[in-house]
Every structure is written in C-alpha cells, then in structure tokens.
Amino acid sequence: MRRAVYLAGRGIACARGLSPDAVAEALWQGGYAPANACAATLDHPYFSIATLQGNWRQRAEAAVRHVAATLGPLAPETPLFFASSSFQIGEFEALPAPRNLPIACASPSLTLAEWLGLNGPCHSYATACTSGNAALMAASEQIADGLIDEAVVLGFELANRSTLAGFIAMGLLSPDLGRPFDQARNGLLLGEAVAAVRLSAHHGDWQLRAQTMGLDAHTLTGPTPDGSRIAALAVDCLTQVNLAAADLDLVKVHAGGSPASDLAEARALHTLFGADLPPLLSLKPALGHTLGASTIAELVALTACLDAGHLPGTAAFSHTDPEIGLQAQVDRKLLNARHALLLALGFGGGMGALVLSRRCALP
C-alpha cells in the first residue's frame, strides 16, 4: 500500500512577493507589470525579485532564507530535491575568463541546502522547465514507498544574462507582455523565483494525488501542434486517481504567451474537456516564466491563493484567438477548489502533469 503525499509547508520569493501570503494577495490584487531591477536582465522586460540586493550569491542566499522562513520546521536530515535549469550560471558570469567552474555541476545545491539548514541527501534535476516536476515526482515516490517521511523540493531560478540572451537569440520572448492564449500573444517574459514545498506523509491540507511526466519532442522547443501528447499525459494523470476531467475545478495551465506552445496546449484542453472547460489560470503573466523553478513556484502561488478561497484572474488576457477558441479566466473570483490539474511544458519536449486535491475533499 503506497502512502499519500501531502503539501505540509511552502515558501516563495518571486517578483510578486517574498512569502506565499504576500504573493497570493498580490495576485488577487491583479498587478502584473514586470519589474526590472537587476543588471542581469539586459534591459528586457523581466520579472525580477526587486527587493533582493547584492551580487548573485547574496541574492541567492537572501531568497533561500526568505523561503525557509515560511517553510516550517525542518529536521536537518530532511532530503533536498533541487530543481533548476540555470543552476549558478549567474555567478559564473561574474568570474573573469578563463573561468574555473566546479567539477560537479550541481554543487550549488549543497550550499542552498546549507542555507535551508539541511545536511541530508541532496538530489538535483535538470529537465528544463519541467525540472520541478521531476524533483516532485522523485520525492513523492520516496515518501509514498515509505523510504522517507518528509522532503523539501526546491525550485531555483535567479536572473542571469546567459539564459535571457539565449531566449532572445531564439526569438521566444515578447517585447512587452506575456499574453497566454490571447490573439495578440507574441512570446514569453521570463522571471526569477526561488520556491519550495515541504512534502510529508502525514501533514498538509493538499494531497499530491498523481503525477506524470512525458516527452513530446516535436521540435527542440515546442510540442506536437495538435496537442495530442499533452492531452494523453493529462488523461494518464487523471486515470491514476480515477478522476474524470469533469471533476476538476481548475486547470493551472502552462501557457505563457508562446504562439505555438499555447496553441498546442489549448488543443489538448479541448480534447480533454470538450466544450465544458473549468477555469483556466495562467500565472506566467504575473510571475514571469520562471523556468526550472516554475512548477514549484506556481504550485506554491496557486495553493496560497486557493487557501484564501481566491482564484486570481489571468493577467494580460484581452482577446480570444479564434484558432485557440478558449480563454483564460480573466476576472478574479472566490473559489472553493477541490481538485486542480497543473500542466507544465519544457524545452526538449518535457511535459509534466500533476493532480492536486484538497484533503478534506477526499473520502
């Protein structure tokens, strides 16, 4: 008998605030202007954590300590599952050439663990924008199998010129706003976030009911246009826990304003729900796309909103794209969500789906 896995604690530092409650309140208020405030952002619109000052390491430590402050008490031996796509490249940018990088590429995870007060096993995951899904799944499986009782899953993405320049070079960024599913969508905006969840076999108001990951390598950076593989992944995830699409009260979509990926995801949603769609929420217009941290950051932000009984509106959506044929939830509203589906897509064809259920809604 596998054990259930619950969300027992959470912390976040992102452009919208330095705690889950602050982020939830900011999302409820609806602000979404990007906030450039650090040198790494190349004068491109970007969702910085404006209140973090100093060099890369100082900002990293401050962010992690903000996260630790709301994560709850941690036993030092608690395992850390670390997710990132850029790791410490922002720190390397400040080194003079020739650069002497550490031999082990995930060595910064040990420093971050120390800042969290952890000295247990440390596992890292680099599957681009679905890194958080990989880390969550690995941690959850160990808890479900009775190997560990608690785990910290940390998503980490701090501003750096290398990532931003790479996205600019590939023509994936919007010059102004991320507009998920909107007719005028013209690309993503990136952001930084450090966010963590404390998973437990015993405590927590939300259960991570099911998680699946898959691969859709239609192109290096985009899914199959008809969305069929995304839909199949979501169905697989729901089937694991005997839920039907109609049971879902909410979908936290991946969509961030990418012309091709948003279209594929929308087609997957049509396949999954037909004409009876639940509210669709995208957090990327408010947080930016936080890449390797996005799954954890958006999980923390979403549950903080739902715990307040709030469903924020999706910022920056104004005109339905006829080809997409659906719209994100624009107006904020009160919502007592029981079951939510969270989708993530990434470079290299990575896909992640997660079903989250409120504990009191379970039999």
Q: Which residues bind another protein (CB under 8 A)?
A: 79, 85, 87, 89, 92-93, 97, 99, 101-107, 109-110, 121-128, 130, 134, 138, 141-142, 145-148, 161-163, 165-170, 213-215, 217, 219-221, 346-350
- Distance, in Å, from the CA atom of 133 to the CA atom of 344, rounded to the nearest integer, reads 8
CA 175 to each of CA 45, 188, 257, 283, 290: distance values in angstroms, whole numbers, following the listed order? 7, 9, 11, 18, 17
- Distance, in Å, from the CA atom of 303 to the CA atom of 343, rounded to the nearest integer, reads 15
Q: What's the min distance (Å) between Cβ of 122 and another protein?
A: 5
Q: What's the min distance (Å) between Cβ of 204 and another protein?
A: 21
Specify the residue, 199 or 337, whose C-beta has the smaller distance to another protein.
199
- Distance, in Å, from the CA atom of 31 to the CA atom of 47, rounded to the nearest integer, reads 12
- Distance, in Å, from the CA atom of 86 to the CA atom of 225, rounded to the nearest integer, reads 27
- One-character DSSP codes across 267-332: HHHHHHHTT----EE--HHHH-B-GGGHHHHHHHHHHHHHHTTEEPPPTT--SB-TTT------S-
Specify the residue, 50 or 105, whose C-beta has the smaller distance to another protein.
105
Q: Which residues pair with 289 in a beta bridge?
A: 190
Specify the residue, 217 or 330, whose C-beta has the smaller distance to another protein.
217
Specify the residue, 41 or 327, whose C-beta has the smaller distance to another protein.
41
Q: What's the min distance (Å) between Cβ of 334 and another protein?
A: 38
Q: Which of 311-328 are b and which e, b meaning 16 or more Cβ less than 10 Å from the residue's Cβ? A: bbbbbbbeeebeebebbb
Q: Which of 303, 280, 301, 284 is nearest to 356 (CA)?
A: 303
Q: What's the min distance (Å) between Cβ of 357 and another protein?
A: 20
Specify the residue, 48 or 212, whose C-beta has the smaller distance to another protein.
212
Helix axis angle for 294-307 and 131-144, nearest 10°, is 70
Q: What's the min distance (Å) between Cβ of 280 and another protein?
A: 25
Helix or strand or coil: residue 64? helix
Q: What's the min distance (Å) between Cβ of 275 and another protein?
A: 30
Q: What's the min distance (Å) between Cβ of 109 and another protein?
A: 5
Specify the residue, 141 or 205, whose C-beta has the smaller distance to another protein.
141
CA dihedral defined by 216, 170, 282, 11, rounded to 10 degrees?
A: 90
Specify the residue, 27 or 345, whose C-beta has the smaller distance to another protein.
345
